[in-house]
């Protein structure tokens, strides 16, 4: 079995209106949200992160709060503005060396992926939400619709 942890970036700032979307940083509220996720942060496995500033900052802060090194974090352009089907394709291409993978990305892609993997899950991702899925597969290449079960949907405290 494989475990998939999905995290939507924490609340971003719109303070500088002319910033390109991918350059938006976290807001003070976003930083506060992350503290409540620390106990549920995976300490092993691969972390794939969208290259947007707000997702990288989310990953960086979570790893620091959990006392983890930055070495296990990989930026992946495929996570930015990706659909659920594209994220499923990304999962199918992963190496089986990691039984646990964390994706830090955006809505609606994470919402769509969760719906594909676990048809009964209907709670949308808010900013900073963390969802842990147990996938009934032995290899990432076997990833298919409705192969997952939601173990946790954590909504961070502000």
State the SS3 of 19-81. Answer: CCHHHCCECHHHHHHHHCCHHHCCCCCEEEECCCHHHHHHHHHHHHHCCCCHHHEEECHHHCC
CA distance 125 to 114: 9
The answer on pLDDT for 14 being more than 90 is no
Q: Check if the beta carbon of residue 62 is closer than 8 Å to that of residue 37.
A: yes
Beta-sheet strands, E only, within 112-156:
130-135, 148-154
pLDDT band for position 136 (50/70/90)?
very high
pLDDT digits (tens, 9 = 90+) for 106-130: 999 999 999 999 999 889 999 999 9
The answer on pLDDT for 158 being more than 80 is no
pLDDT at 71: 81
Q: How many CB atoms lie within 10 A of CB 58?
A: 29
pLDDT digits (tens, 9 = 90+) for 25-84: 999 999 999 999 999 999 999 999 999 999 999 999 999 999 999 887 999 999 999 999
pLDDT at 92: 98
pLDDT at 151: 96
Domains within the chain, CATH numbers bracketed: 2-154 (3.40.50.1240)
Query: For residue 108, is the peptide bond before it cis, meaning its omega torsion is within 30 degrees of 0?
Result: yes
pLDDT band for position 15 (50/70/90)?
confident
Can you say how many angstroms the Cα of residue 5 is from the centroid of all Cα atoms in its chain? 6
> At residue 14, what are phi and psi to the nearest 5 degrees?
-110, 20
């Amino acid at each position: 079995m494989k475990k998939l942890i999905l995290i939507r970036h924490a609340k971003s700032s719109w303070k500088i209106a002319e910033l390109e979307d991918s350059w938006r940083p976290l807001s003070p509220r976003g930083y506060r949200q992350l503290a409540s996720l620390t106990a549920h942060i995976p300490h092993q496995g691969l972390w794939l992160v969208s290259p947007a500033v707000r997702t990288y900052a989310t990953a960086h802060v979570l790893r620091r709060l959990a006392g983890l090194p930055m070495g296990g974090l990989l930026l992946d352009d495929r996570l930015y503005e990706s659909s659920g089907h594209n994220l499923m394709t990304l999962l199918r291409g992963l190496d089986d060396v990691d039984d646990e993978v964390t994706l830090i990305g955006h809505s609606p892609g994470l919402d769509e992926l969760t719906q594909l993997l676990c048809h009964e899950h209907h709670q949308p991702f808010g900013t900073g939400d963390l969802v842990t899925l147990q996938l009934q597969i032995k290899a990432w290449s076997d990833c298919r619709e409705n192969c997952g079960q939601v173990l946790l949907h954590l909504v961070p405290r502000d």
